[in-house]
Amino acid sequence: MSLQAEFADVAFAGGRAALITVVRGSDSVVPGAKLLVRADGATSGSLGDDQLEAAARADAEELIWIERSELREHGDIALFVDVTGPPPRLVIFGAIDFAAALCRVAKAAGWRAFVVDPRSRFATHERFPEAEAVIAEWPAEALTRLGGIDKATYLAVLTHDPKLDDAALLAALESDAPYIGAMGSRRAQARRRERLVAAGVPEARLERIAAPIGLDLGAMSAEETAVSIVAELIAIRNGRDGGRLSTAGGRIHEVGT
């Protein structure tokens, strides 16, 4: 099977991989040489140069989790990194009414939302029709069912129940999630912080939690608040601060060179 066919199979199966092609070579690197890099680091093919392949794998590791294909240059050599991957995941802890609005907005933005809450009477598919799945289990077990948390999985803690809230954050802080957001007033955030420190979480690790969750849009309704959260997720995913474009410098839309 060709590397292009392998790459197509990964894409068809909803997997994650990068197909790297030499588009401008050198005396030792042949144009058209290909290297397939999977999400677990496994590779197929060769670019014909060990140092170049190490750089190419680093490019793939960066781009594979943000589903962005780009042209990358290494000296006189140019590589095209073609990436395939499923849409990013948003795991929402807390089957509260507001979570339904967040599922709707996330789905509209192209994200896959999952709702987690051990209270089976609240965690039902009927209440969250836009969710990919509703899991009536405790956070650690639910995350295991989801296959763990990778670098394309974002977490939002919406519950105000300390038992579920703390269990979700303790599981989240052990993961590779690029974003952990938590809802609640500043007073509730301070109490939560005290509980987590008492549970043995180092202060420095707590800085990973975005709390209060969302961007400062002045949101009032559930839908507006959901927009503020999804907007923050998109900004984090694209390495942006989430400010107004009218006051921002640089490109409005990042594109590969």
Please give the pLDDT value at position 57: 95
Query: pLDDT under 70 in the chain at which residues?
Result: 244-257
Question: How many domains, in total, are found in the chain?
Answer: 2
Residues 177 and 209 in one domain: yes
Compute CA distances 91 → 11, 34, 125, 218, whole Å: 22, 35, 15, 24
d(CA 181, CA 169): 9
pTM for this prediction:
0.84
Residues 122 and 178 in one domain: yes
Residues 32 and 137 in one domain: no
Residues 49 and 114 in one domain: no
Residues 101 and 68 in one domain: no
Please give the pLDDT value at position 167: 92
Please give the pLDDT value at position 166: 92
Helices (H), the chain: 3-12, 50-63, 97-108, 139-145, 162-172, 186-198, 203-206, 222-237
Please give the pLDDT value at position 251: 62
Residues 37 and 115 in one domain: no
Cα dihedral: 242, 247, 250, 254 (round 10): 40
Please give the pLDDT value at position 10: 93
Residues 115 and 222 in one domain: yes
Residue-range definition of the domain harbouring residue 111: 89-237
